[in-house]
């Protein structure tokens, strides 16, 4: 069986482990170089490490997809039908981890969220849902329009004009969401540069905090867009 090595295992902080079968040293590899046996994912290894990637936010989609298909074939349970039960379970586990990693890393926003979660900056379920200061007036007007639309519907009144106002607000917030995505992409490029050139830790932490705040803003605006779309579709 061929061996797949993690290209940047040390930069990902993956510990050197021992092969469960032959006890040879294994560093961030899917398979033991000595005996070829599939290996468990080391504790603390990231989705980036799964594909042999540094923890950067710019990823070539075609390259990631190619790696995914190659690993899918090598880790597929069909290749382990004659192996021990332990190996068969390992292949199932690694295949599942591979699918999770690929789904996350192929999406630019999910990729940022995952990086922040992996580095302990962002915790699931603890994001702040607070209106950004620059949107307070627009959010207030939006809520007024939503209340007026609901009242008009309940009373059987004319709603076309109110729906038009909401459609305009929805378009405005969608443009704001696009702007936030552009800002997030720029922060991602700054992060990648800091990784490439060994930026000091304080700069990296500041970038992570800015990305986290931007993601919070994005989540709030995205919910506004979805809320208006739902109301218009009612």
Query: Is the same domain home to 182 and 227?
Result: yes
Give every CB contact of residue 161 below 8 A, 6+ residues apart in sequence: none
What's the pLDDT band for 23 if we cut at 50, 70, 90?
A: very high
Domains identified in the chain, total number: 2
Last residue of a domain, one of 106, 121, 155: 106
Highest mean pLDDT among 93-97, 121-125, 141-145, 159-163: 93-97
Q: What is the DSSP string of 80-99?
A: GTTS-HHHHHHHHHHHHHHH
Q: How far is CA 209 from CA 24, 147, 187, in A?
A: 40, 35, 10
The pLDDT of residue 138 is 83
In a domain, 3, yes or no: no
Query: Is the same domain home to 170 and 219?
Result: yes
In a domain, 2, yes or no: no
Query: Is the same domain home to 154 and 64?
Result: no
In a domain, 119, yes or no: no
Query: Is the same domain home to 142 and 70?
Result: no
In a domain, 10, yes or no: no
User: Does the pLDDT of residue 217 top 50, yes or no?
Assistant: yes
Average pLDDT, the chain: 86
Which residues span the domain enclosing 93?
Answer: 16-106
Query: Is the same domain home to 137 and 92?
Result: no
Query: Is the same domain home to 27 and 68?
Result: yes
In a domain, 80, yes or no: yes
Query: Is the same domain home to 80 and 148?
Result: no
The CA distance from 175 to 22, in Å, is 57
- Rounded to two decimals, the pTM is 0.83
Query: Is the same domain home to 147 and 66?
Result: no
Query: Is the same domain home to 33 and 83?
Result: yes
**More reliable by pLDDT, 44 or 46:** 46
Query: Is the same domain home to 102 and 137?
Result: no
How big is the chain by its Cα radius of gyration, in Å?
24
User: Does the pLDDT of residue 46 top 70, yes or no?
Assistant: yes
Overall size of the chain counted in residues? 234
Tokens 């007007």 correspond to 141
Query: Is the same domain home to 143 and 83?
Result: no
Query: Is the same domain home to 143 and 69?
Result: no
In a domain, 139, yes or no: yes
User: Does the pLDDT of residue 79 top 70, yes or no?
Assistant: yes
């Amino acid at each position: 069986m061929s061996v797949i090595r993690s290209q940047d295992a040390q930069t990902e902080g993956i510990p050197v482990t021992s092969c469960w079968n032959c006890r040879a040293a294994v560093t961030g590899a899917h398979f033991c170089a000595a005996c070829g046996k599939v290996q468990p994912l080391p504790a603390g290894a990231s989705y980036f490490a799964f594909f042999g990637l540094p923890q950067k936010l710019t990823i070539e989609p075609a390259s990631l997809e190619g790696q995914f298909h190659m690993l899918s074939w090598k880790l597929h349970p069909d290749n382990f039908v004659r192996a021990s039960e332990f190996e068969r379970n390992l292949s199932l586990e690694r295949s599942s981890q591979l699918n999770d990693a690929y789904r996350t890393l192929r999406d630019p926003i999910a990729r940022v969220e995952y990086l922040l979660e992996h580095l302990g900056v962002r915790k699931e379920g603890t994001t702040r849902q607070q209106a950004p200061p620059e949107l307070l007036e627009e959010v207030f007007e939006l809520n007024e329009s939503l209340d007026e639309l609901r009242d008009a519907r309940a009373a059987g009144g004319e709603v076309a004009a109110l729906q038009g106002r909401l459609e305009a607000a929805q378009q405005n917030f969608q443009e704001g969401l696009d702007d936030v995505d552009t800002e997030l992409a720029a922060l991602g490029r700054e992060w990648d540069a800091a990784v490439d050139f060994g930026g000091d830790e304080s700069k990296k932490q500041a970038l992570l905090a800015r990305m986290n705040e931007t993601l919070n803003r994005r989540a709030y605006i995205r919910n506004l867009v979805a809320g208006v779309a739902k109301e218009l579709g009612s």
